[in-house]
Amino acid sequence: MNWFANIKGDRVIWVIVILLSVVSMLAVYSSISTLAYKSGTGNQMSILIKHGITVFLGLVIMYYVHKLKFTYYSRIAQIAFWLSIPLLVLTLIIGTNLNDASRWLVVPGLGISFQTSDLAKVALIMYVARMLSKKQNQIKDFKSAFLPIILPIIIICTLILPANFSTAALLFAVCFILMYVGRVNLKYLGAMIGIGIIGILLIILVGKYAPDLVPRFGTWVSRIENFSSGNSEGNYQANQAKIAIATGGITGKGPGNSTQRNFLPHPYSDFVYAFIIEEYGIFGAFGILSLYMLLLFRTIKIVTKSENTFGGLLALGCGLLLVLQAFINMAVSVGLFPVTGQPLPLVSKGGTSILFTGIAIGIILSVSRSIEEDKKGGKFETA
């Protein structure tokens, strides 16, 4: 019970996390029943238990992360940032080839594989928040403010890009919003968008003429081509997701009654939102969406309360990372975006994703906790 007493920070966020974890357990339980049918020997249980342990570990990590005063993360940000660069390079070179994308690195000795981009994401957000807060006084300047901020972003995103286009794009988008919120000169931000478009065109060119350099290029092109052409035969996954949504109706088919799970290749990860709508209907769709909106809202609440720019930007960055990813996942599920393979944070099955999500939320809570304690301590006056 020591634990409950020690739970600090925004209680609403805690509740959101618990609720999403419950949804995650339900969704995974129901979506893996096909696998269980296959073996008929309690495999389902072992998958579920494994998932439950991961979710619980995520919560534990979250707890310890939130216990640490957020100012330490300024220092940790530097270490994590410089650590993630060689790790990403290593992953690109020797990473386990899953779906043709080298995203995974196996920890020697432990045999645990993890997605280095997950670490890099959090590290970069922390680092950008740190830089933004440090440079606030000369923030509109190019050389002393913009460059030191944008260069790390470009380095990390470029390293993630070859293996995982969507994560790189997502991370870049979060950093971009963070820079905008952090008052970086709009001129530069506008110019960056222009350069970004040129960069993407460059990648496409390289992919066309030297496909070996960018092995995932074919997948991207076909996904985007399928998406934009609306080819109903070719876009199998997206169509199956739409069928799931359409047949879900207002109240859904009920827990465990999905039929589309047999057609959706990853009902417990990429298309979990469509799967939730199929089983829980519009209510489910609205509920999940609201939870993420609420998470973002509570994060903003922290920003408004925060007297510390680093704390505010750090919390916002972490919140944005999760919520934008969630929105992209949902947008893919409902067919607004091309298929990307971004998991739904806290809900989708997948080890590293859940663990780093725990870290991100832990950081938000850490900031929130400091605010609470500062209030009590009366160290600072409220704005």
Partner 1 sequence: MDIKRDILKRVYLMYGFFLLFGIAILVQVFRIQVVQGQYWIAMAESQTLAYKNIDALRGNIFADDGSLLATSLPTYEIRMDLKAEALTDDVFKKGIDSLAIELSNLFKDKSAREYKLELERARKAGERYHLIKRRVTYLELKKLREFPIFRKGRYKGGFLYVQKNERARPFKILAARTIGYDREGQKPVGLEGAYDKVLRGTSGKRLMQKIAGGVWMPVNDENEVEPEDGADLYTSIDINIQDVAEHALMKQLIKHNSDHGCVVLMEVETGLVKAIANLSRNPDGTYSENYNYAIGESTEPGSTFKLISLVAAMEDGYLDLDDSVDTQGGQVQFYDRVMKDSHEGGYGKISVQRVFEVSSNVGTSKLIQKFYGKNPQQFIDRIYKFNIHKPLDLEISGEAAPRIKKPKDKDWYGTTLPWMSIGYESRLTPLQILTFYNAIANNGKMIKPIFVKEIRKHGRLIKKMPVQVISESICSKETVKKAQKMLEGVVENGTASNLKNATYKIAGKTGTAQIANDKYGYKYESKVSYQASFCGYFPADNPKYSCIVVVNAPSNNVYYGNLVAGPIFKEIADKVYATNLKIHPPLSIEKNLAVTPISKNGSKEDLLVVLNKLNVKAHGRVNENWVKTNAKENEIEIQNLTITSGVIPNVIGMSLKDAVYILENKGLLVKVVGKGVIKNQSIPPGQSVQKGNIIILELA
Q: What is the DSSP letter of 23?
A: H
CB of 297 to partner 1, least distance (A): 7
By three-state DSSP, how is residue 177 classified?
Answer: helix
Pick one of 265, 373, 379, 380: the residue that binds partner 1 (CB under 8 A). 265
CB of 266 to partner 1, least distance (A): 12
Using an 8 Å Cβ cutoff, are 318 and 122 in contact? Answer: yes
Residue type (1 letter), 146: F
249 binds partner 1 (CB under 8 A): yes
Stretch of 8-16, 190-198, 280-288, 373-381 contacting partner 1, by CB under 8 A: 280-288
Spatial CA neighbour of 129 closest among 187, 180, 193, 179? 179
Spatial CA neighbour of 358 closest among 53, 100, 40, 35? 53
Residue with tokens 């000169």: 185
Subset of residues 119 to 138 that bind partner 1, contact rule: CB under 8 A: 136
Pick one of 6, 138, 229, 259: the residue that binds partner 1 (CB under 8 A). 259
x-or-dash pattern for partner 1, window 19-38, by CB under 8 A?
---------------x--xx
Q: Which residues pair with 104 in a beta bridge?
A: 96, 115
58 binds partner 1 (CB under 8 A): no
85 binds partner 1 (CB under 8 A): no
Closer by beta carbon to partner 1, 23 or else 355: 23
43 binds partner 1 (CB under 8 A): no
Pick one of 26, 83, 154, 334: the residue that binds partner 1 (CB under 8 A). 334
Residue 94: both structure tokens together: 């020797």
For 112-150, give the DSSP string: -EEEHHHHHHHHHHHHHHHHHHHTGGGTT-IIIIIHHHH
Using an 8 Å Cβ cutoff, are 279 and 30 in contact? Answer: yes
263 binds partner 1 (CB under 8 A): yes
195 binds partner 1 (CB under 8 A): no
By three-state DSSP, how is residue 303 classified?
Answer: helix
Q: What is the DSSP letter of 271?
A: T
By three-state DSSP, how is residue 29 classified?
Answer: helix
Closer by beta carbon to partner 1, 110 or else 250: 250
CB of 306 to partner 1, least distance (A): 9
86 binds partner 1 (CB under 8 A): no
314 binds partner 1 (CB under 8 A): no
12 binds partner 1 (CB under 8 A): no
Stretch of 107-115, 229-237, 355-363, 371-379 contacting partner 1, by CB under 8 A: 229-237
177 binds partner 1 (CB under 8 A): yes
Provide the terminal-to-terminal Cα distance of the chain, rounded to the nearest Å: 35
CB of 64 to partner 1, least distance (A): 28
Alpha-carbon span 225 to 72, nearest angstrom? 45
By three-state DSSP, how is residue 106 classified?
Answer: strand
CB of 339 to partner 1, least distance (A): 11
260 binds partner 1 (CB under 8 A): yes
CB of 285 to partner 1, least distance (A): 5
For 336-356, give the DSSP string: SS-------TTTS--HHHHHH
341 binds partner 1 (CB under 8 A): no
Stretch of 89-97, 202-210, 233-241, 346-354 contacting partner 1, by CB under 8 A: 233-241
Using an 8 Å Cβ cutoff, are 133 and 149 in contact? Answer: no
By three-state DSSP, how is residue 101 classified?
Answer: strand
212 binds partner 1 (CB under 8 A): no
Pick one of 330, 363, 365, 371: the residue that binds partner 1 (CB under 8 A). 330
Neighbours of 289 (CB within 10 A): 14
Strands 101-106 and 96-98: antiparallel
Name the site residues for partner 1 (rule: CB under 8 A): 34, 37-38, 40, 136, 177, 180-183, 218, 222, 233, 236-237, 239, 242-243, 245-250, 259-260, 262-263, 265, 277, 282, 285-286, 289, 292-293, 296-297, 300, 303-304, 309, 312, 316, 320, 323, 327, 330-331, 334-336, 383
